[in-house]
Amino acid sequence: LAPWAHDHPRADRHYMKIMEEITLLRPRATGSNTFGVNDDELLKYPFAYMSEPGSWRPTEPEVEGFRRYLRKGGFVMFDDFRGEDWTNLRNQMAQVLPNLRFQQLSGRESVFHAFFEIPDLTVLKAPYGGFEAEYWGIFEDNDPAKRLMAVANVNNDLGEFWEYSDTGFVPVDLSNEAYKFGVNYVIYALTH
């Protein structure tokens, strides 16, 4: 399996099932779409989920395609990475959006209030020992008053919480909190 696929398809299915149960959205809960960042099909979807971006090295066509996706209104959630992977993600996104930079999110941003109220970003303890979960975002024009284009769940793995949410491996309250982040990200992407 490719590193990005180790939570797939269980995390994707569980995530879409929650979206179907608690929102008016009707996602396809029996499968998922997997696209390259420069695939024109991606432009049909306002929300993208990229897992394991720590070893991501986009080609020039991928850089240009992903830039186009984000500039046209797409939103991406980066998940399941830690430590030095964060350095790589920042470097790669500097190619995709050279004039924009990640900014640490405080919890006051509208993405954390798009559906559920998430007043405390420390509610989820990182599944990676020794690392504190952090949330970083890229805003249009580097302006937090404008649209959030990307969110990075640094030192965290929402997909892991989703994947095992039906097994008892992860406490229910933590899985529920992880779903809240994911639901908010999709609702934000659809409304901004």
Reduce the DSSP state of residue 114 to 3 states and report it.
coil
**Residue 70 in contact with residue 150, Cβ under 8 Å?**
yes
pLDDT at 88: 97
At residue 7, the pLDDT reads: 72
126 to 77, 80, 117: CA distances (angstroms): 16, 10, 20
Predicted confidence at residue 4, as pLDDT, reads 59
Report the predicted TM-score, pTM, of the whole model to 2 decimal places.
0.92
Distance CA 178, CA 121 (A): 11
Question: pLDDT tens, position by position, for the chain (192 residues)?
Answer: 566 556 767 788 888 899 999 999 888 777 778 999 999 999 999 999 999 999 999 999 999 999 999 999 999 999 999 989 999 999 999 999 999 999 999 999 999 999 999 989 998 876 677 788 999 999 999 999 999 999 999 999 999 888 888 887 777 888 999 999 999 999 999 999
**Are 58 and 91 a contacting pair, CB within 8 Å?**
no
pLDDT on residue 167: 81
pLDDT digits (tens, 9 = 90+) for 47-98: 999 999 999 999 999 999 999 999 999 999 999 999 899 999 999 999 999 9
Tell me what pLDDT residue 118 has.
96
Rounded CA-CA distance 42/32 in Å is 12
